Amino acid sequence: MIGGSNAGPSLSAGDIQLMHIGLSSLVRANTAGADLVAVGSLSNVIRGTLFAAPGVTDLNGGVFGISSAGSESDAVATLVLERLGLARADVTVKEFGLGRLAALLDGEVTAAMLDEPQRSEALAAGLAPIIDFLTERVPWLYTSLAVTRPYLETNRETVRSFLAATMDGNRLAVADAARGKAVLADALELGDAETIDICYDNFKTFTPENCEIDIAGAENIIAVVAPDMGAVPEDYIDTTLIDEMRRS
């Protein structure tokens, strides 16, 4: 399931109980009436890079491609435009899902944020990065493990077990590179050995092994997505399970 605007309704309705989504999606969902909370992290930095279509030097008046409304690429678009001295009103933000690289190469979009493996594919195709957030390691809760607060209250041990299994999986993937790469290749439908290696190195470098949440990443998201709400990270994250597991 794609995150973004789908996350809150799906979790709140009980269609799913846990979901990997960026914290900006969670903040937007709660603003719309959901009661979600992040209990762990799979990425504490922005893992994307901004690319422009061939020949593009100015994004003003162009089309900015995102994956889906309310997604991390949507929230980061605001951050990107601010860096470039632009506002969202200066561009047309359009959803392209996983088709952003193809849209860039075809000139259908002016610019777009790309994660791996499309980031490496864009570099190989000769596209020049405009802003490389991945290299900058900008704090951002890019992928969190989210649940509803009521579900966490009544199914605490289930969520704890899921977190523990996620941590075990992270450690196994690091300890057994061949197995980790095989899982990545299957999940991302990769066949090129070099791309698989890049994605695996990305996983090892930027995935917190024990799912720890970086508060600075939450603060940056709040500043972009909910700057005028007086919100604090604790409104959207709950680290008590990880804290308990660390002490045990």
Query: 118 and 20, same structural domain?
Result: no
Query: 158 and 217, same structural domain?
Result: yes
pLDDT of 184 strictly over 80: yes
Answer yes or no: are the C-beta atoms of 218 and 237 closer than 8 Å: yes
pLDDT at residue 13 in the model? 79
Using one digit for the tens of pLDDT, what is the confidence trace for 22-62? 999 999 999 989 999 999 999 999 999 999 999 998 999 99
Query: 152 and 35, same structural domain?
Result: yes
CA separation for the pair 16, 13 (Å, rounded)? 8
Query: 153 and 32, same structural domain?
Result: yes
Query: 124 and 213, same structural domain?
Result: no
Q: What mean pLDDT comes out for the span 214-219?
A: 96
pTM, 2 dp: 0.90
pLDDT at residue 3 in the model? 55
**Total residue count of the chain as it appears in this document:** 248
| Helix, strand, or coil (residue 38) | strand
Residue 125 in any domain: the answer is yes
Query: 158 and 118, same structural domain?
Result: no
Contacts of 192 (CB under 8 A, 6+ apart): none
- Is residue 5 very low, low, confident or very high in pLDDT (cuts 50, 70, 90)? low
pLDDT at residue 46 in the model? 96
Query: 237 and 147, same structural domain?
Result: yes
Residue 17 in any domain: the answer is yes
pLDDT at residue 16 in the model? 87
Give the whole-number percent of the chain exceeding pLDDT 90: 87
Supply the range of the domain harboring residue 107.
Answer: 49-136
Query: 150 and 41, same structural domain?
Result: yes
Q: How many domains does the chain have?
A: 2
Last residue of a domain, one of 90, 121, 136: 136
Query: 158 and 60, same structural domain?
Result: no
pLDDT of 215 strictly over 90: yes
pLDDT at residue 43 in the model? 96
Last residue of a domain, one of 136, 156, 181: 136
- Is residue 230 very low, low, confident or very high in pLDDT (cuts 50, 70, 90)? very high
Q: Of 140, 153, 156, whose CA–CA distance to 208 is shortest?
A: 140
Query: 116 and 67, same structural domain?
Result: yes
pLDDT at residue 7 in the model? 65
Residue 62 in any domain: the answer is yes
pLDDT at residue 4 in the model? 58
Phi, psi of 124 (to 5 degrees): -65, -30
Residue 63 in any domain: the answer is yes
CA separation for the pair 14, 75 (Å, rounded)? 25
Query: 159 and 53, same structural domain?
Result: no
pLDDT of 78 strictly over 60: yes
Least confident of 39-43, 99-103, 187-191, 232-236: 187-191
Return the CATH number at 215.
3.40.190.10
pLDDT at residue 125 in the model? 95
Q: What mean pLDDT comes out for the span 118-131?
A: 93
Least confident of 14-18, 117-121, 140-144, 201-205: 14-18
pLDDT of 12 strictly over 80: no
**H, E, C per residue of 101-147:** HHHHHHCCCCEEEECCCHHHHHHHCCCCEEEEHHHHCCEEEEEEEEE
Answer yes or no: are the C-beta atoms of 155 and 176 closer than 8 Å: no
